[in-house]
A and B are shown apart, each in its own frame.
Chain A
Amino acid sequence: MPSEFRLILKNADQPGYTSDIECYLRHGGYEQLKKALGTAGRDLADGKKQSPQEVVRKEVLDSGLRGRGGAGFSAGLKWSFVDRKSGKPIYLICNADESEPGTFKDRQIIHKDPHQLIEGMIISCWANDVKLAYIYIRGEMPQGAKLLNKALAEARAKNFLGKNILGTGYDLEIYVHRGAGAYICGEETGLIESLEGKRAYPRIKPPYFPAVLGLYMCPTIVNNVETLCHVKHIVAMGASEYAKLGTPNNTGTRIVSLSGDVKRPGYYEIEVGKATLGELINDPAFGGGLRDGRKLKAIIPGGSSSKVLKAGEVFKLKRKGTDGQMTPVDVPLLDLPYDFDSLQQAGTMSGSSAIIVMDDSRDIVDCLANVSEFYAHESCGQCTPCREGALWMSKALHRMTHGEGRKADADYLLHIAQNIQGRTICAFGEAAAWPVLSFVKKFREDFEARGATDEAKHDASVPQKISASSNH
């Protein structure tokens, strides 16, 4: 039977657990920081020496930890790209701009266990020789920002932050920086621009890889809230033990945000890949199934920018057979393991691990219209294909949902979407195009039926006399 596995949220929902430092300390808080700071250097086989910081960085790499924000990139590799020879300061930014529709996991950590994030951050900063770090929290979380400020003050008072931390000679300051309602600030280079006090226009890569040319053109690490929390647990367990959680190449745990048409929407922490999409939606331990009498229609598996999955779809996934060869196996939608690689092989992504379920009472055109309006509103406006295209698609869908659909709209939408993806500075172009491409391709009949109905209604309402006179 699948069940939750709580590592990050182990304490968060326990009765009596509070967000203050005393409670955190009673639950073993900041012990991993002490352990990390006391890490010994290592002599390598080739005669080279590894500094204590390098040892911790190597642990994070070996743990297989992948970013929990959306891209699922190896956290250890991301750290390894940091330019450590430039002589410039290295910055770390915690991306707490949780705004991908469907996602509400970082909110749980920030509100219920802020010190876990701060401990993970201090360890990560120390391991990367960072002296100044920021938590970029979205503007719509004012309570979260207050809680973090309070937690940082408590950590400062106990000398876990500030000058000469715990007598080690290491100095670090962390400040909270509030966004102001722009989704694009979740994109790491947009976030950096925003933190520099500018409009959040993403930077083009190359050359502006944050690891080399980030905040103030200095090497910068941007990690998600949940990712930074995992660093604490990697230090606690050691890389090899941590890597036993989850599945190969998809290690550790993940907090899944489940919303939409299920009986028990909410957040569920699982070992990555140890529960299937079907279990997350239907099992009593998770979503508890759809509402009575309803059938599944569609699933958005990783935040609203991930490609939609249609009920009844079957995917070809590569699996290791008994002979050790990778062979394609048919896997039905609900049997897809919820991890990074399986969803990618199914043509979509686990993204920010936010599942939105739609049942058969839902009009798929309405759903896409809602999603597209979001992207039209949130495009930063820097690149023409995205600025114009996202709005154009949203307008076409608005027309379709207001009785003015056309049979040709399905192709029209695909045409616009195809001209956005791959033609923008950042991945927002894809985020806007993918829902449209996948919804229209997989539910083409719904879009065409809507267009046909509207056209028929429109034709019937045109008075014959006017049609006749128009021949003159």
Chain B
Amino acid sequence: MSFTVPTNIEVEIDELITHYPVKRSASLMLLHAIQEHFGHVSREAIEWVALKLGLQPINIYELVTFYPMFRQEPLGKTHVKVCRTLSCSLAGSGELRDHFCRKLGLDSHKHGPQTTPDGKFTVEFVECLADCGNAPVVLVNDELQARVTTVQADEIIEKMPIK
């Protein structure tokens, strides 16, 4: 199998497994660790995690398809998640997502995450991000941005460092 996990990630993973009396419980944490490093969870990664935890690949695959945060395809380096749910919607998150899409040449009528052809940006509508008092909110990679205006949206697009 060509899939290899760097030693430091595997050390981290082995430590995570010790947190649980039953290895299987570590599944989600392992998938997070894998996705953070590789950017997505590939078929090979699913098999690797299953083997690591003494499970069948289907036990891991069914998690990747159930939990919305896991993805099987690589996405853009900068992942823009715009909150779609009521409080943010009342504060204009629909228009905000359209703005991101327009600026990046994406089709705002399409469902699901969309990535620019150069692989720099992914824009996605997600459900409630639990910061409704600061609506509309946007999660840019791991960082939550509050009360985002179209001006700030442009700044996010212009200033986001490409990792």
Contact = CB atoms under 8 A, between A and B. Distances in A.
Interface of A: 98-104, 106-107, 132, 138-143, 173, 175, 177-183, 194-200, 216, 257-261, 265-267, 300, 304, 354, 356, 358, 362, 367, 370-371, 373-374, 377-378, 380
A266 B20 CA distance: 37
Interface in B77-94: 81, 84-87, 89-90
B134 to A, nearest CB: 8
Given A196-B22, A356-B86, A178 B130 contact: no
Contacts of A356: 86-87, 90, 132
A44 to B, nearest CB: 36
Q: How large is the interface on B (under 10, 10 to 19, 20 to 34, 35 or more residues)?
A: 35 or more
Contact of A183 (B24, B127, B135): B127
A354 B131 CA distance: 11
Given A103-B130, A107-B130, A259 B29 contact: no
Given A132-B21, A177-B19, 7 more contacts: A180-B69, A180-B70, A182-B66, A183-B127, A304-B85, A367-B86, A370-B84
B25 interface: yes
A143 B133 contact: no
B143 A182 contact: no
A260 B86 contact: yes
A189 to B, nearest CB: 15
A181 B90 contact: no
Contacts of B132: 101-104, 257, 259-260, 265, 354, 356
B31 A370 contact: no
Nearest to A354: B132
Contacts of A367: 86, 90
A102 B86 CA distance: 8
Contacts of A371: 85-86
A200 to B, nearest CB: 7
A133 to B, nearest CB: 11
Interface in B118-140: 126-135, 139
Contact of B85 (A198, A200, A374, A380): A374
A100 B85 CA distance: 10
B87 A140 contact: no
A200 B86 contact: no
A177 B63 contact: no
A292 B12 CA distance: 54
Nearest to A185: B67
Given A182-B68, A356-B86, A377-B127, A177 B133 contact: no
Contacts of B158: none
A139 B63 CA distance: 14
B69 A139 contact: yes
Contact of B25 (A140, A196, A374): A196
Interface of B: 19-22, 24-29, 31-32, 53, 59, 62-63, 66-70, 81, 84-87, 89-90, 126-135, 139, 142-144
Nearest to B86: A370
Contact of B144 (A99, A143, A199): A143
A380 B63 CA distance: 12
Contacts of B90: 260-261, 356, 358, 362, 367
A370 B89 contact: yes
A180 B31 contact: yes
A261 B133 CA distance: 10
B67 A139 contact: yes
B120 to A, nearest CB: 21
A98 B28 contact: no
A373 B86 CA distance: 10
Nearest to A98: B130
Contacts of B29: 177-178
B28 A197 contact: yes
A308 to B, nearest CB: 11
29 contacts: A99-B127, A99-B130, A101-B128, A102-B86, A102-B128, A103-B130, A104-B133, A139-B32, A139-B69, A140-B129, A142-B142, A173-B19, A181-B67, A181-B68, A183-B127, A196-B22, A196-B24, A197-B59, A197-B63, A198-B63, A199-B62, A199-B66, A259-B132, A265-B134, A354-B132, A370-B84, A370-B86, A371-B85, A374-B85
Given A102-B132, A367-B86, A197 B68 contact: no
Contacts of B130: 98-99, 103-104, 106-107, 138, 140-141
